[in-house]
Amino acid sequence: MKLLFILLFSSISLFAQINFDDYFTAGALRLDIIQAGTASSENIYFHSLKREPYFSGSHHNLIDTLNLGYYCFYVYSLKDNKLIFSKGFSTLSQEWQTTEDAKNHNRALNYSIRFPFPKDSVRLVIKRRNRKNIFRELFSLKINPGNYFIRKETVDTSMVFKIHYSGDYSKKLDVLFIPEGYTENDSTKYHNDCKKFAGFLLGYSPFSEMKNRINIWGINSYSQDSGADIPGKGVYRKTLLNASYYTFDSERYLMVEDYFKLADVAASAPYDQIYILVNSDKYGGGAIYNFYSAVAAQNKKAELVFIHEFGHGLAGLADEYYTSDVSYENYYDLNVEPWEKNITTLVHFEKKWKSLIASSTPIPTPDDSIYYDKLGAFEGGGYVAKGVYRPTYNSIMKSLSANGFNLPSKNAIINVIKYYSE
């Protein structure tokens, strides 16, 4: 009991002492990085620094307690060597490393890290989990906020509009819907799509119970052409973000590769999460934790894909399916408990949803219809049929035919929304 008390006390004191105004001022500092490597190697390179008008995260929760994502960046104040900010994330580059292609050649992709603009010099460190889920340092940089190479161009914020507003952006989860492949002539369609997806999100549990903690923003940024690239069909469109199907040669994987371009567009609005609405009716989408989410907005299943992808983008939820054309070989090490909240290898199941399972439900849970509406540990998930377990027989993270998120996924989403809105 005494030990527990000391541990609790010390962890509280660690996180409670960061007073936002002691270390940060208005706006955000954006660090653009290049990630390059192969299946077995990775390097991160400095690209540039920018000042942006909005930092929309919590001024209270500055140190990441969610512990999600393959990477985490840490900002230390140089004057007192204190950790003053941290945030977990994943990237497209990390996914690329798991593809067949990455075994044969090098590739570089980009990402932008953002944190509140510091008052004094800081050291930024990026760490990545190894196969055993232990964070190792990959990159370090000293940043003097007075450096004249930090670009401070004025950002036009006039084209931003509110879709759902519940209050000050530093106290809410801010979701930004960016239009991709909508021309000026499609602007009414984009505004209607914004309303449609916002309505669906705010009507879907657990978002429906947390509406008053969420803001949704839109931005009038249009493309020369309608639609998106479909390389496998020889279709190329000149659009705002150059979104493309066939990412990593998977037809339905619809993503934007140039993150700097995306971050430039997003800078006009307050945002914690980017959602790219792609003006296409061809089935597709994709999302990566604290990277962005994307959906083909005109497809007839778009609303369900939208929710599924946001589970990845917002809360780092894993795919619970294991029979499909998506074949990531050995994506999870079966001897390690994955960081995602909605799958388990049973290695440290007590850290997941084990305590929520009824004592009458066996673990692992048999594939028997008497358990199909129960919380359990069903084998199959995370792209493999054996060794990875999911909480329920079906869920929106497994199949679009499902009724909703399961309890561990809901709890993960609720935690993230609270984190941004406290």
The site for Zn ion (CB under 5 A) is made up of 319
Q: Which is nearer to Zn ion, 213 or 252 (CB)?
A: 252
Cβ neighbours of residue 327 under 8 Å, at least 6 residues apart?
Answer: 383
* Beta carbon nearer to Zn ion, 17 or 403: 403
- Separation between Cα atoms, residue 217 and residue 234, nearest integer Å: 33
Q: Is 203 exposed, middle or buried (0-12, 13-18, 19+ CB in 10 A)?
A: exposed
**Alpha-helical regions (H) of 275-348:** 302-315
Exposed / middle / buried, residue 80 (Cβ in 10 Å: 0-12, 13-18, 19+): exposed
Cα 244 to Cα 100, 294, 296, 312: the distances in Å are: 20, 11, 10, 19
Alpha helices in 158-255 (DSSP H): 187-202
Nearer to Zn ion, 128 or 308 (CB): 308
CA dihedral in degrees (97, 98, 100, 104; nearest 10)? Answer: 30
Rounded least distance, CB 393 to Zn ion, Å: 17
Structure tokens belonging to residue 261: 């371009």
Q: Shortest Cβ contact with Zn ion: which residue?
A: 319
- Least separation in angstroms between residue 309's CB and Zn ion is 7
Nearer to Zn ion, 265 or 314 (CB): 314
Judged by beta carbon, residue 54 or residue 339, the one nearer Zn ion is 339
CB of 310 to Zn ion, least distance (A): 10
* Least Å from the CB of residue 327 to Zn ion: 14
Residues 343 and 390 sit within 8 Å (Cβ to Cβ): yes
173-180 sheet: strands from edge to edge: 160-164, 214-219, 173-180, 273-278, 292-296, 285-288
In the 8-state DSSP scheme, what is residue 93? H
Nearest approach in angstroms of CB 257 to Zn ion is: 18
Residue 312 beta carbon to Zn ion: minimum distance, rounded to whole angstroms: 6
| DSSP per-residue letters across 218-242 | EE----SSSS-BBGGGTB----SS-
Closest CB 181 distance from Zn ion, rounded Å: 21
Amino acid at 193: D
Chain Cα centroid distance, residue 47: 22
| Closer CB to Zn ion, 200 or 236, in the complex | 200
Identity of the residue, 264 or 319, whose beta carbon is nearer to Zn ion in the bound complex: 319
Question: Under a CB-based contact definition with an 8 Å cutoff, are residues 405 and 395 in contact?
Answer: yes
Looking at the Cβ atoms of 319 and 337, the one nearer to Zn ion is 319
Least gap, CB of 150 to Zn ion (angstroms): 36
Closer of 213 and 398 to Zn ion (Cβ): 398
Least Å distance, CB 353 to Zn ion, is 19
